[in-house]
Chain A
Amino acid sequence: MIKVENLSYSFNDFPLLENLNFEVYTSEIIHLKGKNGSGKSTLLKILSGILNNFQGKVLSTAKNVFFLGHNLGLKESLSVKNNLLLDYRFNDNAQLLDEAYKLFELDSLIDTKLFNLSQGQRKKVSLVQLFLSEYDLFLLDEPFANLDKKGIELIESTIISHQNRGASIIFTSHETQNISSRELVL
């Protein structure tokens, strides 16, 4: 799905990523590991096409890429419901949305403005997006951060269901996760 050749990226002459070579196949879950500042987030941003100024080659056959960053891309001044309705990445099928609300325990919060929510609850809103978007490639930066145990289980099952559909997932995390098929250490 993705082939990376001799990828290097530097920040003001300070090399962050040097000569990376790896390949990601379809239906793979890859756990991207590394110390703080080793360039995990940067790598995900390069793979998703957000950062362009790199050396080397990134070849991708993914038709569409789902990116989840540190900043979730949600609008503070909108309600949970409107945030989700505005998302172009999935069909806002009312029934599916209702199911997702229940699944992620957001059904009591759908009309709450986002700035009233905790970090964990916001994360759950973006997990609904993750849950509903049927994309080829998922690049998830710290998807497990700020979540309770139930949330972590939910996201794991979501990731696995996407894998079963044939999608590839790359995520970063500091803890060991047992859902991944491979680990990649920076």
Chain B
Amino acid sequence: MYLSRSSSFLGPIVFFLITITLYPLAFGSDEEQLAELASGIIWISILLANLLSHQFIFNEDYKDGSLDLVLASGKSLFVWASIKIFVNWYFSSLPLIFLSLVTSFMLYLPLDAALILALTLFLGTPILSMFGALAGALTLERGNIVGSSIVIPMCLPALILGILAIQSYKNEEVFFYIFLLAAFLFFSIPILIASCLGAIRLHFE
């Protein structure tokens, strides 16, 4: 249904790769140092790429009047927005998770940690996607930076829990953090999608 957007499919991937590349260029290619920073580097890059790729998911529908039609149809806006977010997550975040495995080798992250990384991203990126969609929904009229600067502080728990899980991959605590991240995801889904709807609705007051 939303497949006709190959450029927006590649966009986040390119963005993610270039941000990853920036870090070794800035910090040097020291193996130990990079391995230590790797989880943070990947998480921050994913966070930014994810927020950016979700910023404008409702914009086109708002501008071309499709959103009007959705509202006029009386069909559930909740279902519509959920599908929209899920599809966008599927096409823009899922590839990044696989790519993050590749980049984690490039940043000398041990394999176990890399797998934990992928797991935390799998749990974390939907949260980021929903926050990104919220940012986009808030700034439908003028797509600007205000939206993402609002949601980045809100994403911090996901980022922190994700990185803590990776860094404690050797001991038992990793399960604790992953469990918390999953709980955060679980509770975010209804709250964030509901607030997305509120944010979309506010443009139709």
Contact = CB atoms under 8 A, between A and B. Distances in A.
CB atoms of A and B under 8 A apart anywhere in the complex? Answer: yes
Interface of A: 45, 48-53, 64-67, 69-78, 82, 86, 88-89, 139
B64 interface: yes
A89 B66 CA distance: 13
A117 to B, nearest CB: 13
B142 interface: no
Interface stretch (B16-24, B69-77, B98-106, B160-168): B69-77
A52 B200 CA distance: 12
Interface of A, helix, strand, loop or mixed by DSSP: loop
A53 B205 contact: yes
Interface of B: 1, 4-5, 60, 63-66, 68-69, 71-74, 201, 204-205
B167 to A, nearest CB: 43
A75 B205 contact: no
Q: Which 10 A-B pairs have the closest CB atoms?
A: A71-B65, A67-B72, A73-B65, A48-B72, A53-B205, A73-B69, A50-B71, A73-B66, A77-B4, A69-B65
Interface of B, helix, strand, loop or mixed by DSSP: helix
Contacts of B63: 71
Most chain B C-beta atoms within 10 Å of own C-beta, residue among A66, A75, A82: A75
Contact of B64 (A66, A71, A82, A86): A71
A75 B64 contact: yes
Contacts of A49: 71-72, 74
Contact of A64 (B60, B74, B205): B74
B64 A69 contact: no
A78 B1 CA distance: 11
A139 B73 CA distance: 12
B66 A75 contact: yes
Contacts of B73: 64-65, 88-89
Given A51-B205, A52-B204, A53-B205, A73 B4 contact: no
Nearest to B69: A73
Given A45-B68, A73-B66, A74-B64, A52 B201 contact: yes
A86 B1 contact: yes
B4 A75 contact: yes
Nearest to A50: B71
Contacts of B1: 86
Contacts of A72: 64-65
Nearest to B66: A73
Contacts of A51: 204-205
A127 B205 CA distance: 28
Contacts of B201: 52
Contacts of B72: 48-50, 65-67, 139
Contact of B204 (A50, A76, A86, A139): A50
A77 B5 contact: yes
A69 B204 contact: no
Given A52-B201, A72-B64, A139-B72, 7 more contacts: A49-B72, A52-B204, A53-B205, A73-B65, A73-B68, A78-B4, A88-B73
